[in-house]
A = this chain, B = another copy of it.
Amino acid sequence: MSGWLEALGAALPGRVLTTPADLLAHARDEGTALTSQPGAVVMAQCEADVLATLEVARAHHVPVTPWGAGTSLEGAALPIPGGVSLDLSGMNTVRDPDAVSLSVTVGPGTRRVALNRRLRPHGLWFPVDPGADASLGGMAATNASGTTTLRYGGMRENVAAMRVALMDGRVLALGTAARKSSSGYALGGLFIGSEGTLGVLTALTLRLHPLPSATASMQLAFSDVASAVEASVTFAGLGLGLQRLEFVDGQTIAAVNRHRGRGDPEVPTLWAEVVGRDQADVAAQLALMEEVTRGGGAVVVGQALTPEAATELWAARHGVYDALRAAWPGHATRIADVCVPRSTLAETVARAQVLLAEHDLTAPLVGHIGDGNLHLLLHAPLEDAAAWARIDTLVHALTLHALAVGGTCSGEHGIGLRKRPYLRAEHGEALDVMRDLKTLFDPLNLLNPGKVTGNPANDAAPWSLHDPS
Contact = CB atoms under 8 A, between A and B. Distances in A.
A180 B154 contact: yes
Contact of A423 (B184, B233, B414, B429): B184
A172 B429 contact: yes
A100 B233 contact: yes
A412 B233 CA distance: 31
Nearest to A160: B341
Interface string A225-243: 0000100010011111100
A117 interface: no
Given A178-B341, A190-B190, A341-B177, A415 B233 contact: no
Interface in A105-149: 123, 142-145, 149
Interface string A165-177: 0100011111011
Q: Is the interface of A mostly helix, strand, loop or mixed?
A: loop
Contacts of A429: 170-172
Contacts of A339: 178-181
Nearest to A343: B100
A181 B239 contact: no
Contacts of A273: none
A433 B172 contact: yes
Contacts of A166: 433
Interface stretch (A26-34, A209-217, A461-469): A209-217
B426 A184 contact: yes
A153 B157 contact: yes
Interface residues of A, number: 97
Nearest to A288: B277
Contact of A373 (B180, B237, B275, B414): B180
Interface stretch (A38-46, A53-61, A357-365, A434-442): A434-442
A136 to B, nearest CB: 15
Most chain B beta-carbon neighbours within 10 Å: one of A278, A409, A430: A430
A148 to B, nearest CB: 12
A9 interface: no
A2 interface: no
B277 A178 contact: no
Contacts of A210: 236-237
A183 interface: yes
Nearest to A192: B186
Nearest to A214: B239
A444 interface: no
A406 B187 CA distance: 17
Given A185-B190, A410-B183, A237 B123 contact: yes
A250 interface: no
Given A153-B153, A182-B412, A184-B431, 11 more contacts: A100-B233, A172-B433, A176-B406, A178-B340, A178-B372, A178-B406, A179-B371, A182-B410, A183-B193, A183-B423, A184-B193
